[in-house]
Structure 1
Amino acid sequence: MKRKKRILSMLASFAFLTSALGSGMTVLAEENVNPAATTAQIATESIPDPVMQVTFDDGTATDVTGRGNNGTVYGNPEFVEGVSGQAVHLVNPEDAAGQPPVAAKQYIDFGSPEDLQFGEENFSITFWYKSERPSDRNHKEGAIVSNKNWNSGQNAGFNIGDMRQGINLNFNTDASLKRRETDRFAEAVDGKWHHIAATVDRNGSMVLYVDGEKPTQGSGFGSSKSAEIDITDRSGTIDALNFVVGADGKKELGVLDIYMDELTVYKAALTEEQVRELSGAETPPKDQPVLYVSFDDSDATDESGRGNNGTVMGTPEFPAGVKGNAIHLTNPEGVADSTTVLVKHFCNTLFDKYLTVTGLHWC
């Protein structure tokens, strides 16, 4: 507790320094820090190789990974301009969409190859998605991606659904147990393209992402009210029926009207950072500096490219530092005490430098 108070006091004391270097700077003060550690990088873990990727660019559901997990397209759907190349446009008439036990008219069946059998392993499914649908409660709820008999959400398997209230993720391993289900998110069904990711960590949570983020404005459906649901109490295989796009594992409960592009499957639970990278969303400050000042040019120019340059007040020295130059800030007696601390900018790319600062008051 005492250490926490000291650090908070230090942060308050060098507020003048952050204003001098630019309002975008984020600073962490630490005691007894090894300067050699400043060269460390916090790298985003590389995205694993997919076990299936379908671009739809050639008007088929061919797996471009070379692993042979090709889908069979039923009902002659259109292949139209998508996010990248072509996309598939799946449409089912009112009397077939969302209607068990009526067979869907347009869907893609990938069967049950080993790569699409997840058992008790982690997995992730990502794709670009656009839904053309009515916004009223008469919308026909359909299965976007599924491997289960979705006539009951409690049945074993998973389902990404196009629901009345929006998109959601459903999961269960035993029909005798209560299903696990995220909230339903309308932001993904506004007639625009959205990147969707469903990640499943069998020792943790399943998460539904929209455009690289966990959505927060759900419909409040059921008890979940969240895009992240704990599934640690659901042991056993998730495998049930075939892996199907546009209908459930029984080829029923077809979607009313959706577009899909760049369908990809991983045998791993992607991290939030990896999902964000795949979606092309802007990387937040924790993954990319909003301010980087090396002091090598004897000024406080921001080298991140974001233009957060600082104005150096007084005439401090720029002596040799850990790498290149550092800045040495001093204040005379009567303005400051003699305490010396180390200041470190904490971000994805850490500062290569420490600022040797005298005159910061902390207690």
Structure 2
Amino acid sequence: MLLEELNGRDIIQFSIDVLETPPKRGNQRQGQRRKLDELSPDELRKRKKTLNTLIGILRLAVKLAWENGSTDSERAWRCIRRVPISDQPRTVFLSRQECVALLESCRADLRDLVQGALYTGCRVAELSNLRVRDVACDVFGIYVAPLKSRRPRYVFLPDEGLAFFLALCAGRMPDEYVFRHRSGYSWQGRHKHLFKDAVRNAGLPEEFVFHGLRHTYASQLVQAGTPLIVVAQQLGHANTDTVSRTYGHLAPQIREVQVRTHFAELDVSYAKKARGLSEKFQELSRSLQGSNWRDYGKVEPANSWPRSNFVTSASEVAQLLQSIERPN
């Protein structure tokens, strides 16, 4: 298509084509096209990110063509726009018990890689490129070399984390990789099927991927009260926006705990009654959360909740209300 003929309708159709085409991974066969209304919110969000990557490349190429005089029309690049995406909080992260179960399900070389991710929050590519000379070189932690457009950074470590890294580096040359596949090569691109098997053997959610270790790291820090700016700097983000939008402290279960434990006492009478009902309140909280805390972490605005959520807890709430006399 000539640039002079490109218009907004073409871009809309191109966008729909990309969104409705399922992702193709590795040597897998291309799946069947699915309509937009058949995609889950998370699937649509991921397809939008893919689309925006393509849109960014296309827009830049067309704009350069106009700037270089290959076309006289500005319409071509002005009609190419990214689609809006609302990042969703990540609720598929692991508890400490699940982290231990995952580590126990990994073979030895993969276990080191997974444990390194849990200590640092680094991406698999960053860990794969980590050299012995990058450990405890300038700071109490590791130096993460720049990848693609990302900036270099230092990641500070807890004491046990530094002990772990130093043990891996003992007796090795500065240029050697810290994490090595048992074949001796870098881990880059070799971890996926092994990690999926470990996740399955540990009984974790099927959708949990290696990048979820990064979410687990961030979520654990935030739950422990770490300032968002510190979490952002550890992860290599320029500011706290991504952390506040994306990571685990936005999960409803964690919000519940934070509000219940950190709210300053306002009414002495109700506070005293609440302390007397602490065990019943805990039972109510557990009944609302259900058997799987991840389901509680995915709650949506009240007008979209299934009615069963209210029915199952209504009698318990009524019994609690009867035990609370309004103070004079």
Normalising by the smaller structure, the TM-score range is: under 0.3
Specify the structure having the higher radius of gyration (Cα): 1
- TM-score, normalised to structure 2, is 0.25
Q: Which structure carries more strand by proportion? A: 1
Q: Which structure carries more helix by proportion? A: 2
